[in-house]
Each structure stands twice: as C-alpha cells, then as structure tokens.
A and B are shown apart, each in its own frame.
Chain A
Amino acid sequence: MKNLYIISLLALLFTFTSCEEVIDLDLEESEPRLVIDASMLWYLGTPGNNQQIKLSETIGFYEEGVEPVTDAEVIINTGNGEEFIFAHQENGIYLNSNFIPEFDKNYTLEINYNDQLYTATSSFVPVAGIDYIEQNNEGGFTREDLEVEVFFTDPAGQDNFYLFSFSNISTSKFTLEIYEDEFTDGNQVSTNYSNEDLAAENEIHITMEGISEAFYNYLYILRSQGGNSGGGPFQSPPATVKGNIVNQTNPENYPFGYFRLSEVDSTTYIVQ
C-alpha cells in the first residue's frame, strides 16, 4: 500500500525543478465496453438485504458523466435454487432488496446485455472491524496536517486484505486505501487518512471492508493506473486491468469492473 506512496514521493522530488502544464492532446477513442461495478456490501449488524449493481459503458477520456446501461438483465444466484433479480432503477443502477448474505457460499453473477452473457463467481470475505479512531494534529507527510487514524486488530496466522474508504461529507472528497497484512500480521495497527484540506468539524464517513487477495491485487493495479498516481518517470507501465467477470459469449469483448462480496464495518468521525 505504501509502495505507491514512495514512488509518488520520488516523482515529487522532480517537481522542484520542473514545470507542469495542462495541454490539448487529441486522443483516439476505443470501442465502448461494459463496466460492471458489483460490490455486495454486508454491513456488520445489518441483514444486508439491500444491494445494488452499477452498469455503464466506457466513454472518451475527456468526456464527462457516465454512459449508463439501462437495459441489461442482472441476476445473482447461489447454485442451490436461490435467485436474486436486480431490477433497473435509474442511471444504470440495479437494485435488489431480498438479498441474503451468507459466508462460505458461492454467489454467481449473470448479466445479459446485448445478447452477450457475462458471469463471475465469488463469496463473502469477513472483516476484522474497527477498534477505535484517533486524531493526530501533526500528521500527514509534512506533519502539519490533521490526520485520522483508524485502529484495528489483524487476525493472526492468515493473510488478510482490507479496503478502507474515507468519505468527507463536508467537502465531498472520497479516498480509498488498500491494506495487506504482509508486514503486520496479527498486530493492532492503523491506517491513516489525511489531506491538506482536512479541517475541524469535517464529517468523515469511514468504511472498512474485508476483501480477497485477488480483489486487492485488482485494486492495486487499478490505483496505479488511476489518474492521480503522479505520472512522471516513476509511473508503472499502463496496463489493461481485467477483473473477474468473463464474457461467456465473446471473450474478446471482455468487460471492466469486478464482482465481489465484502463484510463491512463503518463509522462516522467528526474531526476535532
């Protein structure tokens, strides 16, 4: 997780002699592809009946907004007769309110769109849960920013992967952090959220989600490709990031996105 941080830091060193300007650059546009954002989130202490799936198509790099897919058939089944149908609501969002989340069970996503069948199978990943939250007023890289530290206890003796999201309700800023316990197995550790805009009274909505190693790796690549990885000489080579969903009808026309199921802990913190 911190690797990206180090790399972008090296890139930062370059910026002191350099100059950056936004330019007009014509880009070719690729054929649209289906994008599937299917995250089944089971919040601790809730029945987890309400779930949603977002479908869209890729758009030109400079275009704004989304190109929603509204006419797909979306079903999740469990192989033993259970079937959850997701109905289109609006803007490519498909909802189901009878979903039954369970551990140790395989869920299969089936999407039928433009006469092509897209499928993926996955199961729920549990989460350790947030222990407590602390605030550090000399945090961040410069030690001058406010910092929110989320403490949790990693279960020992197993490989665990987490996704944290920090949603600043007051500023509408959204940040994701991924975490693996390779170097911290079994310890009580923290992950930090800080940025220079963070101010007292800000309301931060925090989630901690248990994720699989495959989804961790997927997010790792996705983030390195994402817009704010810094660019410059230290960026990793651009790559096509494929998720776990396969187009059964025409594998060449693969979709983007992921189908995953996570147990989630969440809390809200008001910055002091």
Chain B
Amino acid sequence: MKKITKRALSGLALAGAASLVLAGCAAAPDASQSAVEQLDYLACGVSDEGSWNDKSFNQSVYEGLTKSRDELGVQIQDAESTTPDDFAPNLQAMIDANCDLTIAVGFNLVDAVNKAAEANPEVNFVTVDGWSNGATNLKPIGYSMNQSSYLAGYLAAAQSASKVVGTYGGMQIPAVTDFMTGFYYGAQAWGADNGTTVKVVGWNPTNETGDFIGDFTPNSGTSKAIAAAQIQAGADVIFPVGGDQFGAVSEAITEAGIDGRMIGVDKDIAATSPEYSKWVLTSAEKRMTNAVYDIIKAIAVDKQAFTGDAYIGTLENGGTALSAITNYTGKQSQADVEAKLEELKAGIIAGDINPLG
C-alpha cells in the first residue's frame, strides 16, 4: 500500500516536472519599449466593500484607472476595502505611497476621505458619490442625471402604447428625484411634439409627490408592489430609480401579462444584467469611467491645476448618456425617434432645453 502511494506520488511529481519543463521552453523575451510614453504621475484608487469587480460604480472607476494607465501612461495603484475599518488605512497607504491623486469610491468613504484630505493638503483626492466638507484638494464627482433621464422619458413616451409611463425612486432625495424630474419632462415633451397627452405616474415634480420604496434594498416586495400598481394604472414603460430594482419590475411586468418595458439606471443594464435584457428599452448611464479618465487627463496630461470644484457628468462631456436602444416597438420608427433624441441632446447641450421644466 505504502509503496503504491509512493510510486503514484513520484509519478505525479514527474508529470509535474515534465509539464514545468515543457511550459518553460519558450524563448526569453527581450526588453521592449511600451507603446505609451510613461508619465511621472501616480493615480490611485480605494474601493468600498463592493470590491473592484462589483459590476457597478467600483468597477467603472477601476476601468477608468486602467484606461488612464493604458492610454495616458500614468502609473496606478489600488486597494480594496473589505470592512469599514479598512477605509482610513487604505487611504493612508495611498498617501504613504506618494500618490498624486487618490480616488475614494462610494458614499461610505465620504467621512474617511474628507479627513484624509484635510490632514494632507498637499495630496489631491476625488470622492465618487460623496461630497466635500470644504477641502479644496477634494473633488466630488456628480452627475446631471436629469439630462439623460429627459431623453429616457421622451423615448419611453414614444414606446408606450397606452401613453402612460411610470417612474419611482428608492428614497425621496435629490440624487433620485433628479432622474425622475428629467424623465417626467422628457415624457411631456413627446406629448407636446405629437399633440397627445402623456401621463406620468409615480412622480409629480410640481408638488414633489410620488412613489418611493423607502430604501435601496434590491428588488424588495415593496418595489414590486409599486411597479405592479403603476402597471395597474396603465403604465407600460417603467423607470425605477433605486439601484437594482430590475428583478422586481420584470416580475411585475411578467405577472401582469403585458408587453412592458423598463429603463435601466447607472449602467447599461442590458449588457451588465443580460437576464433582464428582454425587457430593457435603454439605460440612463452614469459613465464614471469617463469621469475618472477626464479628471486624470486634465491634470496629468493637460497640466491643469487641481480644484475642489465638482466634476459634473453631462451629455456634453459624456459623463451621462443613454445606452443603445433595444426592444423598441413604438409606432414611430426607431430611426425617427433616434434622430429626434439627437436633436434634443444637442438642445440640452446648447442650453435651449431645460430638462428640469
């Protein structure tokens, strides 16, 4: 028994060694020049507990960092947080590593990054989804989501057969109602263009009342109940603004047995969550990858001075945009609607159209 084991083991070892030797037969590479000129600029990122591959904002930021490394030639370093205890030490590690710019991702890091910015005035920081308590070396990244939501509302009204569209939010806070207000006026604009009345259920920007889940729990029962009630009220396109509510909305659509659509938020839902793609009309995206890239490029390549002014993602700078349109079955042809959306986008960028009223 013992002998067999020994022989088996030595056989295994031999096989292992052989594969090592075989694998190791390639020629040694020569030192080669990389394509992009390397810059003496160190951009760093600290994730929240979601980690870099969360398919959401952490990942978008990390892609922004790698894009900057590959295209601009800046150096990058990163650290992931696994508990809230890691936030401050991770930021400190970036300061100790002499990072020129440190990006703190997520609302949860807002206290830690404000403290780090105050304690290290010579280092620059960016907070994604956070805010600055006044430090001039801390730049918040924010979004004019009403702009892309306006386009989403216009498209929703064009798609709708019942000319009733719905929207609801996680909580009634400005970051959420910004989407909903843009959506409301976009839908009304389609009605005005086509001489029909479009009804928006779930949000009235004039008296600021609407449907809200009460929290951001993904796909809760409350969320599904709101979606079902809006479908009951005639809505056949729904725009849920509260993170991942797409499971709840798609279930409500399926159970009601209607040919309904939903519009994604933050990322291109049809691509990131293909299981929902058959209901997705489009998504109102926050393109953080672009925001991170633009900020790094402005300082490292264009040598602009760093300021604490917020970076606002707009249609103009590509920080927010609509994803590709899928599953469109409205009466107007998709090409006509897309042409009109381009016109509206130009109008918003030029300032002729106010998505907030």
Partners in one complex: no
Which A residues contact B (CB, under 8 angstroms)? none
Which B residues contact A (CB, under 8 angstroms)? none
